[in-house]
Amino acid sequence: MAEGLRERKKRQTRQRISEVAIGLFVERGFDHVTIAEVAAAAEVSVNTLYNYYEAKEDLVLPPDQASPQRLADIVRARQPGESAASAVLAHLRDELQRRDRKVGLTAGFGRVFDMMRAAPTLTARLEDLGRQMTDALGTVLAEETGARSDDQTPRLVASQIGWFHSLVYAEIGRRIVAGEKPDAIAEAVLDLLDLVEGLLSERALTYATRRG
């Protein structure tokens, strides 16, 4: 279905606000820029800005892109014959191969990453987001496998998946700080995922395989 004029204008306004905000945050630091300053620079009212972004942190980590349901959604969408862990591994590999902005492999992301690391509220939000992703995945795995309430397996498998998902982002961040280029980072992290897959147990790799 084609995007209507109203929807296109809203998307463009939302994108402009985010781009202006991140530019200011990178230039001056997240904690030194106010919402009012972002609104003025984006040429919208403060109320309009809040219609698009409920919190200042959303300007950097919008809920539709940094969602607590990310891992759960990946696993829900897996194909017949694919397990939970293999679905997430495949998804991460695809993002790395495409140099997807979701994993920070875009030109200029190094400065954005430095800004995020320097803002305690953003780092705290990222940590909390990781916990929420793992919890949501554990719930999905328990539901899909019909696990008993006292069965810890879904939670433990979700924790392992959450671990290597977080490891990917940590490794990308480490290499960005070291000044490596996106292509080199992607290749190195793809190799890391191969190593991770080789270290995971057979049970973790095959848990919650979708029946065909």
208 vs 212: CA distance, rounded Å: 12
E strand segments, 145-195: none
pLDDT band at 106 (very low <50, low <70, confident <90, very high): confident
CB 11 within 8 A of CB 101: no
Q: Using DSSP, state whether 181 is helix, strand or coil.
A: coil
105: Cβ–Cβ under 8 A, 6 or more apart, which residues?
A: 96, 99, 172, 182, 185, 186
In the predicted structure, residue 71 carries a pLDDT above the cut 80 = yes
- Residues 62 and 69: their CA atoms lie apart, in Å, by 13
Q: What is the pLDDT of residue 4?
A: 82
Tens digits of residue pLDDT in 155-206? 999 999 999 999 999 999 999 988 899 999 999 999 999 999 999 999 999 9
d(CA 186, CA 172): 8
- Residue with more model confidence, 81 or 106: 81
Percent of the chain with pLDDT over 90: 83
What pLDDT is stored for residue 1 in this prediction? 59
Q: Give the pLDDT confidence of 124-147 residue by residue, as tens digits.
A: 999 999 999 999 999 999 999 999
- Quick one: pLDDT at residue 110? 85
Asked whether 35 and 47 are in contact (CB, 8 A), the reply is no
Q: What does the mean pLDDT of the chain come to?
A: 94
Three-state secondary structure call for residue 111: helix
* Residue whose token pair is 């402009």: 16
Measured distance CA(49)–CA(43) in Å, rounded: 10
Q: What span, in angstroms and rounded, lies between the C-alpha atoms of 128 and 162?
A: 12
Q: What is the four-CA torsion angle of 63, 16, 182, 91, rounded to 10 degrees?
A: 30
Is residue 119 pLDDT above 80, yes or no?
yes
Provide the whole-model pTM. 0.88
- 49: tokens are 């800005």
Of the two residues 108 and 26, the one the predictor is more confident about is 26
What is the average pLDDT across 57-67? Answer: 90
- Spatial separation of the C-alpha atoms in residues 108 and 6, rounded to whole Å: 31
Residue 36: which residues within 8 A CB-CB, separation 6 or more? Answer: 46
Confidence of residue 109 (pLDDT cuts 50, 70, 90): confident
**pLDDT, position 198:** 97
**HEC assignment per residue over 53-66:** CCCHHHHCCCCCCC
Distance between CA 61 and CA 67 in Å, rounded?
9
Average pLDDT of span 2-21? 90
